[in-house]
Chains A and B, each alone.
Chain A
Amino acid sequence: MAYTGVTPSARSRGMVRESRHLLFTVAPGATWIVIFLVLPSAYLMGVAFMTNGPYGLPEMPLSLESFRRLAGFGFLGWSPGNLYTLLRSLWQTLVSTGLVVVVAYPIAYYISTCRARWRPIMLLLVVVPSWTNQVIRTFGWMNLLAPGTPLSNLAESLGFIAPNMGLYPSNFAVTLGLVYNFLPFMVLPLYAAFEKLDTAQVEAAQDLFASPVRAFWHAVFPQTLPGLLAGIVLVAIPAFGMYVIPELLGGGKGMMLGNLVANQFAGGANWPLGAAGAILMLIATFVGLFAMRRIGKRLGGGEEVVI
């Protein structure tokens, strides 16, 4: 103990000084985040429970009207549009996260088997495209998938799409854009897991005549699970709230929750409805984070998933 032999009053003075130090270092940033993020989000959540005014701005009295609207109940009765959007968001998140895992897993493994001096370069090659602006990357896909391009022509001759339709706008294009966008976020944590893989376990499994599949499932896969879970958090949560990719590649029938929310603050303004959508997104985010933490704790062999 650093304080032995010091009088109690000096000790409490030291603690006061420490507290003041904590306040001085932490307060500016903490206050900043509270004022410019906690308060605004709290306000937005409040907006969800207000009534939509004539100019799309929130008004009193409080009501649950926006949630009814979000569930599809409008002036003309119930319509499934919003529900489709919600299901599409879930589906796109599920499919793209799954595909990202399928691509990233072998890639991360492959990088970890290459020579040590090449690995940083290979990782850099995977990451660099994600440094360019998301709008530009998505624009690149628009160019690639537009009608008349080689890829569209190929899809057309194989009978996947109607003539002169092009591969975008479509749900397929959105999935592709999501996979493209999030691939590096999965490769990096998986690579970190593969890099510190305990190969003794794999050798032990092989010595015991385990089939390659069994050896993989019992000796390799559990060790990469923390990386996999971290990757799923990094991919699925932002994918669910994605705005840019469905807006550019999806068209009207490819809309996701992010677009539904954003639209309520632009043209067809209805702030309370948009805010209700935002609350839904927040719930999904925190449920996802919580679930991954729980799974990580239970299966990760004591190693906690860091997010």
Chain B
Amino acid sequence: MRKRTLKRGLTGFWWFTLAFLYLPLAVVVLFSFNASNSAATFTGISLRWYGRLMGNEEILSAFANSMILAITSSVIALGVGCLIGYGMYRHRHRKLGWLIVLIYLPIVLPDIVFGISEMTFFVQIHRLTGLLQPGLGTMIIAHITFQIPFVALIVYSRFVGLDPTLFEAAKDLYATPVKRVVHFMLPTIKPALISAFFLSFTLSVDDFVISFFTAGPESATLPIYIWGAIKKGVSPEINAIATLMIGAVALAALISLVFSRRRQA
């Protein structure tokens, strides 16, 4: 009897928490279809804010910047991080404490300290040498820096999960290291590589603080654009872009659900 009431109370609390989690997103989506430009009252359904987006050069270029940044940084971080991950596995019996510290540093450093360190560094290097002008280039460098550890750790844990004798077998099967990499290693860690790429991509698109501090005047990404629009005074167009970004996340969630279901089956 007591257990039943506990369970019922928990179920109620669960739905309450879900409402709490989704309410702010729902409001954004709802008001993106608002006919009036009021942020407090809903007057009717219209698509006018979405129409405005299409003609807005700034938003389109911010979207392009976000994509270039996310894809370029993820690809480079995947290569570099994958090498570290393998190195960590292969030499796991050595004392690699310094490497572990180095890899965890980007993860534990508060975003704001991370972003400001990079910014002051880039600014001074630029003043001294003319290189590293703040812009997409510096943002890509900064994003790679926080993506590398995640890639390395994912790849490392995939290798750790493998049967060590597989490596011996591969050595017997394939004569050259190159063939071993192409025919054995890459295919075996493919799932890890895919999830590492998607994680890097998501981290990049999700990031605001580090991008904000390393960006140049021409390299605003979508979050930076939205930030600027909020600071200037809320325009209903923000709801429309934000809704599109929420939609992309919902799609990604659905895809990940389908994949996890298929893996279970």
Q: Is the CB of B21 within 8 A of A129?
A: yes
Closest chain A CB from B237 CB (angstroms): 12
Mark the stretch among B9-17, B51-59, B187-195 that contacts chain A.
Answer: B9-17
Please indicate the chain A residues that have their CB under 8 angstroms from the CB of B24 in the complex: 129, 137, 140-141, 143-144, 180
Decide if A39 touches B121 in the complex (CB within 8 Å): yes
Partner of B21 from the list A120, A149, A180 (CB cut-off 8 Å) is A180
The interface residues of chain B lying within 8 Å CB-to-CB of A103 are 17
- Min distance, Cβ A78 to any Cβ of chain B, angstroms: 26
> Do B13 and A241 touch (CB < 8 A)?
no
* A5 contacts chain B at the CB level, 8 A cutoff: no
A260 to chain B, nearest CB (A): 10
Task: Specify which chain A residues have a CB less than 8 angstroms from the CB of B223 in the assembled complex.
Answer: 133-136
B257 at the interface (CB under 8 A from A): yes
Flag if A34 contacts B102 (CB, 8 Å). Answer: yes
A26-B99, A33-B102, A125-B18 in contact; A265/B208 too (CB < 8 A)?
A: no
Determine how close the nearest CB of chain A comes to the CB of B39; give it in whole angstroms: 6
Stretch in A62-70, A106-114, A193-201, A224-232 with 4+ CB within 8 Å of B:
A106-114
Summed over the interface, the residue pairs from A and B with CB atoms below 8 Å come to a total of 226
Give Cα A244–Cα B11 distance, bound, in whole angstroms: 32
Q: Is A202's CB within 8 Å of the partner chain B? A: no
| Contact between A132 and B25, CB atoms less than 8 A apart | yes
How far is B110's CA from A146's CA once the two chains are assembled, in angstroms?
29
Instruction: Verify B209–A244 contact, CB threshold 8 A.
Output: yes
Shortest B176–chain A CB gap in Å is: 15
Decide yes or no whether B90 CB sits under 8 A from chain A.
yes
Judged by a CB distance under 8 angstroms, whether B227 is at the interface is yes
- Please pick, from A43, A120, A141, A262, the residue contacting B120 in the complex, using a CB distance under 8 A: A43
**Docked-complex contact A139 and B111, CB < 8 angstroms:** no
Query: Of B99, B242, B257, which contacts A124 at CB under 8 A?
Result: B257
A212 to chain B: closest residue by CB:
B2
Closest to B261 in A: A120
Query: Does the CB pair B238–A139 fall under 8 Å?
Result: yes
* In-complex Cβ contact of A278 among B21, B116, B141, B152 (8 A): B116
**Residues A240 and B205 in contact in the complex (CB < 8 Å), given A107-B14, A128-B250:** no
Q: How far is the CA of A263 from the CA of B44 in the complex (A)?
A: 40
Report B139 CB to chain A, min CB distance, Å. 12
Does A7 sit within 8 A of B, measured CB to CB?
A: no
- For B195-237 the 0/1 string (1 means CB < 8 A from A) is 0000000100110110001000000001100110010001000
A-B contact pairs, 11 of them (CB 8 A): A22-B90, A25-B84, A43-B117, A136-B245, A139-B230, A139-B238, A140-B28, A142-B230, A144-B24, A243-B111, A262-B116
Q: Nearest 7 CB-CB pairs, A to B?
A: A140-B24, A25-B87, A241-B110, A40-B121, A40-B117, A26-B87, A148-B40
Interface of B toward A, CB cutoff 8 Å:
7, 10-11, 13-14, 17-18, 20-25, 27-28, 31, 39-41, 80-81, 83-84, 86-88, 90-91, 94, 99, 102-106, 108-114, 116-121, 124, 141-142, 144-145, 148-149, 152, 202, 205-206, 208-209, 213, 222-223, 226-227, 230, 234, 238-239, 242, 245-246, 249-250, 252-253, 256-257, 260
